Structures are given as C-alpha cells and as structure tokens.
Amino acid sequence: MLTSNEEIVNALIISTSMILFFAVLVVISIIKYRNKHKEFVERENTIKIELVKTILEAKEQTMEDLSEKIHIDIQQSLSLVKLNLSKLLIHPDNIEAHKIKEIKELIIHTIKEVKGISKDLDPKYITGHTLEENIVRQLKRVEENAGLDTVFNTSEEEINISHEKQTFIYRIIQEAINNILAHTKATQIKIELINDSNEFIISISDNGQGFNTELLQEKKKKTGIGLLNMKHRTKLIKGVFMIESNLNIGTTITLKIPYDV
C-alpha cells in the first residue's frame, strides 16, 4: 500500500509528465506551423517573382511578334500603296478603277492590322480574355506569321481560372509554340482543352521531327531549358507536366491543371 505522501509524489510525477508531454506537442506543433508558414510564404514569393517574369516574357514575345508583323506585313502594304499612288500621280489621265480598288483594299488591310496591334498592346491582353480566346489568338498568329496549319478543340463549357494561373498557362503555351516553330519543322500545331470535374487538361501537339526527351536533363541546350521552364511553371500552379516525343512523328505536351490552386 502506498502512503499518502507517495501517492502525492506519484500524482505530481504523472501530472508533470503529462504537462511536459503536452508542452512538447505544443512546441512541435508551433515548429511545424512555422515551417509550413515559411514554406507558404516562400512559395507565394516564388510565384509572385515568377509571375512578374512570366508577364515580362509574354510581353517581350508579343513585342517581337508585333515587330515582325510591322516589318513584313504593314511595311509591305504601305510600300505597295505608295508605289501605286506614285504611278497614278505620274499618269493621272490614265487612272484605272481596279487600281484604285487595289489601293483601297491595301489601306483597309493596313488599318485592320494596326487595330490588331493596338489590341495586342493592351495591358489586359491576357487577363482581359478567356483562356480559350488567348489560345485562339496565339494560333492565329502562328497561321499568319509562320504559315502553319492550326487546330483547336475545346469543350463546350468555358474554363474559369484565376488571372494568375491564366498568365502562367499563356506563357507555357507560348513557349511550347515557340519551341515547335524553332526546332521541330512541323507543318501543324494542335491544341486540345478538356474540361474535367477536378482539373482541366491541355495538350499541345505537333507533327514535326520529334526529339530525344533526354534533352530535358541537358540544361545547357536551349530546347531543354524551354521545356524545364514549362515544367517549373506547371509545378508552381500545382499542375502535372508530361511530354511524349517520337522521331519523325511529333511531340505532345500535356498539362493537367487542378482547379483548386
């Protein structure tokens, strides 16, 4: 039988042990919370930095495309207008109706191109449109500037995502298209957008020469760096990046993006 003093001592030991146990649990919980919070802050900061970088890269690419369009298309149209007007001024008594019509059509075309450029320079050129609209605009640029055939298939239901996520996706698709134009010798680009219950799937395919996917590991190669950037940005929005390529058949990049980021 324990004496009353021994019972008190045992009770104190048990109570102290329990207090210490719960204190350790609290400390561990605080440490875990702080680590989680630190990870969250670091991830948010990384996303913010990457988002700014992505926006700047997207705008830089857009400016390059516009510069090329101005140089090739608009400058050519204006040169033809100038040439035809010069001929009319030299021979004002020999003005043909079809020549005036040609000049008018060239001017209308140039005005249309300038309007398109002004829209692309709008700061809201990404976030001010839906994901589907941005994809259509990118593919239209490919058709006009590179002469490739393009196909876009999408589900009937519109994809609703945050501006932040859409900016990342816009740049991923843009970089994928640039890689296709620069390296694959493809004649067609196909993009599919599939709307699922918890995620949406984007596939970007080409019918080019394909390549060895081990290039993903070769950071010094430009193509590999582009693919690594796409993979990194997909990971930032908690997506899954997959790539399949076969020589002389083509390449398909697949993105699986969850809605609840």
Q: Using one digit for the tens of pLDDT, what is the confidence trace for 144-161?
A: 778 899 999 997 677 778
**Which residue has better confidence, 3 or 249?**
249
pLDDT at 187: 94
Q: Are strands 250-258 and 199-206 parallel, antiparallel or unpaired?
A: antiparallel
Query: Is residue 81 predicted with pLDDT exceeding 60?
Result: yes
Query: Is residue 79 predicted with pLDDT exceeding 80?
Result: no
pLDDT at 138: 86
pLDDT at 207: 95
Report the candidate in 176, 202, 168 with the shortest Cα–Cα distance to residue 48: 168
Whether domain 148-261 has CATH 3.30.565.10: yes
pLDDT at 118: 64
Give 252's contacts (C-beta < 8 A, 6+ positions apart).
Answer: 203, 204, 205, 243, 244, 245
Angle at CA of residue 125, ends 184 and 137, nearest 5°: 40
pLDDT at 261: 46
Query: Is residue 219 predicted with pLDDT exceeding 50?
Result: no
